[in-house]
Amino acid sequence: MMAPSQFDPVAIVAALERYGVDYVLIGGLAQVLRGVDVVTEDVDICPSFARGNLERLNEALAELGPAGAEVARVDEDALARGPVEMQTEHGELKLVGSPQGVPNGFVALRRAATRERIGRGISPLTASAGDLAAMAGALGRGEDRERLMMLRRLVELEAGREPSPRTSEQARIASSQTARRAPRTTR
């Protein structure tokens, strides 16, 4: 399947919103909306399994699919087996029925989720920093370590708490990174 000419996450989210799909935005794009400095190349969502919602999701997917291509229908069984990845005209869309780290998927995620502006007048329901941290921690991937630290800091800021004391290793790394970035002056 051909890759899209340009990743356009807003177009993907706009189609979901147009069809009234109930979902929570998760993954890298949700982290970006929460303030994490990360580059993402797909849109990850956790859809509701409620009656009628999967039908609306399939209608949105039919619109998003590459022109002339047959788009597989998504059902509860497919989502229960694991993430469903789909290539759309605007980039990759990943459907996650039960994200690791968040038991009960959509039902649990929507409790702390808030609507965040993404552009073009669209504000998807976006997972909280705490839930994003729980998912990143549960995945245990190396690339999520720095994101996890940023997400935990966001949780602390949202709660109005001072940051947790750094371990000596974290302080050493931060100090060396700051030293590398500091401008050098000469006399």
105 in a domain, yes or no? yes
* CATH assignment at residue 133: 3.30.460.40
- The pLDDT, as a whole number, for residue 158 is 85
Question: 89 lies in which domain range?
Answer: 9-181
- The pLDDT, as a whole number, for residue 109 is 98
130 in a domain, yes or no? yes
160 in a domain, yes or no? yes
146 in a domain, yes or no? yes
- The pLDDT, as a whole number, for residue 180 is 44
- The pLDDT, as a whole number, for residue 4 is 53
Instruction: Report how far residue 125's alpha carbon sits from residue 117's, in angstroms, rounded to the nearest whole number.
Output: 9
186 in a domain, yes or no? no
187 in a domain, yes or no? no
- The pLDDT, as a whole number, for residue 184 is 42
- The pLDDT, as a whole number, for residue 93 is 97
Query: What are the C-alpha distances in Å from 81 to residues 5, 129, 185?
Result: 30, 26, 58
Mean pLDDT by groups of 10 residues along the chain of 187 residues:
74 98 98 94 96 95 82 91 93 96 95 96 97 94 88 90 54 46 43
149 in a domain, yes or no? yes
72 in a domain, yes or no? yes
Question: For the chain, how many structural domains are there in total?
Answer: 1
Q: 28-45: string of b/e by CB count within 10 Å (b at 16+)? A: bbbbbbbebeeebebbbb
- The pLDDT, as a whole number, for residue 142 is 87
The token pair at 67 is: 């022109």
The token pair at 178 is: 């700051």
